[in-house]
Homo-oligomer: A and B are copies of this chain.
Amino acid sequence: MHELKIGLLGCGNVGGALAELLIARRAAIAARTGVDLSVGAIAVRSTAKHRDFVVEADLLTTDTLGVVQDPDIDLIVEVIGGIEPARQLILRALELGKPVITGNKELLANHGAELYAAAEAAGVDLLFEAAVAGGIPLIRPLRESLIGEDVTRVMGIINGTTNYILTQMTEHGAAYADALADAQGLGYAESDPTADVEGFDAGAKAAIIASIVYGAAVVAGDVYHEGISNITVTDIEMAKRLDHVIKAVAVIEGGENAEGESEIAVRVHPAMIPGDHPLASVNDSFNAVFIEGASVGDLMFYGRGAGGEPPASAVLGDVIDAAINKVAGTAATIGNLQRAKIRSIDSLSSAYYINLQVSDQPGVLAQVASVFGDHGVSIRSMEQRGLDDEAEIIFITHVSNEASVQTTLNALRGLDVVNAVCSVIRVVGDED
């Protein structure tokens, strides 16, 4: 039996759940793997703070670097979050040859390449299953099972808060503000919900997924994002009438530019998804990642993205993997990632749902339709509904160039007969 001691940096929801899991599963893990894993030290901000879970008081310390450098500690779990001091601590641990497990998406989405390179140089594991999609085994299948696959696109519902809000709006007709307040009441959304609802959280995760899938460094700042705060009850109802649902998705695509160079497109935005698409029935705070591969076809991974226990389960899987590797004297590294070439949002293609309010008078439709044609945006379906003295026209376009669609929208806004461009939502998952 090999004994390994874990140094836990941070002991919030995930750290606490992990500490309890390690105690509860210790014997079972030892029986399955031949490794006896236990927590050797826990670095916290205050040793006096009340905790809901049981930790031995003499394991607690405020000296994070001391835990990293403690010769009795074999393996580091970083669940402090944020860039510093997490980055420095991880680099130091790797330098000391200690495997690191982290769930720190902000750090990886901004300094991933530096950390992966440090792990590679040290020949030590740096594992981070919990950083994306919580408890769902996703990073390991992407790193290992699909490394030979030609992945053409990844679409993910990877922010539980926005998925909860949109599910409430879809199932109960709730307005955005009410659904957000509800999510805040349940603790699914922060009092300042910006990171979730404006797509920053999903953007960081999308950058990590893109880096792993395409083996090139993508950072949070590369990700185009639009939030869900403009989505209205009308949009939700219209989506239903069209047999679609509105979801906040991350879309990651690989391809080549006109010069034959590899390019990665990464964006986060609300999207209409066909009702029979597997992502359409991913509801509440669940996450799911849908992968399209040239050989493997369509895959989906579904599960709990947040809470204390699901990410702790993901960290535990990584801890065991790193422990087995350490005993075997090996490590799984990602290598040195070169900066990715990012496709600009203007060069992307998507189908669009566009909702216009126009004057209800003869010739309007022809006038509006001709604007689409003038800019090379082809219309897949159109529907007009009278509303008192106004009319509403709903267009679904064929897959079109983003810049052309934006030019079309600007031209439409300039028409006297167009009173408002109410909604513009990309349609994904049923490309023609």
A→B interface (CB under 8 Å): 17, 21, 24-25, 28-29, 31-33, 129, 135-137, 140-141, 144-150, 215, 276, 278, 281, 286, 293, 295-304, 307, 309-310, 312-314, 316-317, 319-321, 324-325, 328-330, 332, 335
Partner of A296, one of B281, B310, B320, B335: B310
What are 8 A-B contacts defined by CB distance under 8 Å? Answer: A17-B295, A135-B297, A135-B299, A141-B141, A295-B310, A300-B303, A301-B301, A329-B330
Q: Which of A137, A215, A286, A324 has the most CB of B within 10 A?
A: A137
Q: Could you tell me if A129 and B145 are in contact, using CB atoms closer than 8 angstroms?
A: yes
Q: How far apart sit A138 and B4, CA to CA, in the bound complex (Å)?
A: 28
Q: A144-B317, A144-B321, A146-B317 are in contact. List 13 more A-B contacts (CB 8 A).
A: A21-B148, A21-B295, A28-B148, A29-B147, A32-B335, A137-B145, A286-B298, A293-B313, A295-B309, A295-B310, A296-B304, A297-B307, A330-B330
Task: Please name the 7 residue pairs, one residue from A and one from B, whose CB atoms are nearest each other, closest first.
Answer: A137-B145, A137-B141, A296-B313, A300-B302, A299-B303, A135-B296, A145-B317
Given contacts A141-B140, A313-B149, A317-B145, contact A295 B33 (CB under 8 A): no
Q: How far apart sit A140 and B28, CA to CA, in the bound complex (Å)?
A: 19
Residues of B within 8 A of A335 (CB): 32
Q: Could you tell me if A295 and B278 are in contact, using CB atoms closer than 8 angstroms?
A: no
Residues of B within 8 A of A328 (CB): 330
Residues of B within 8 A of A32 (CB): 147, 215, 335
Min Cβ gap A264→B in Å is 15
Min Cβ gap A185→B in Å is 21
Q: How far apart sit A320 and B143, CA to CA, in the bound complex (Å)?
A: 11
Q: Could you tell me if B299 and A137 are in contact, using CB atoms closer than 8 angstroms?
A: yes
Q: Could you tell me if B317 and A302 are in contact, using CB atoms closer than 8 angstroms?
A: no
Q: Could you tell me if B140 and A145 are in contact, using CB atoms closer than 8 angstroms?
A: yes
Q: Could you tell me if A296 and B303 are in contact, using CB atoms closer than 8 angstroms?
A: yes
Residues of B within 8 A of A303 (CB): 296-300
Partner of A25, one of B148, B276, B316, B330: B148
Q: How far apart sit A317 and B325, CA to CA, in the bound complex (Å)?
A: 19
Q: How far apart sit A299 and B328, CA to CA, in the bound complex (Å)?
A: 30
Given contacts A32-B215, A144-B317, A302-B278, contact A150 B296 (CB under 8 A): no
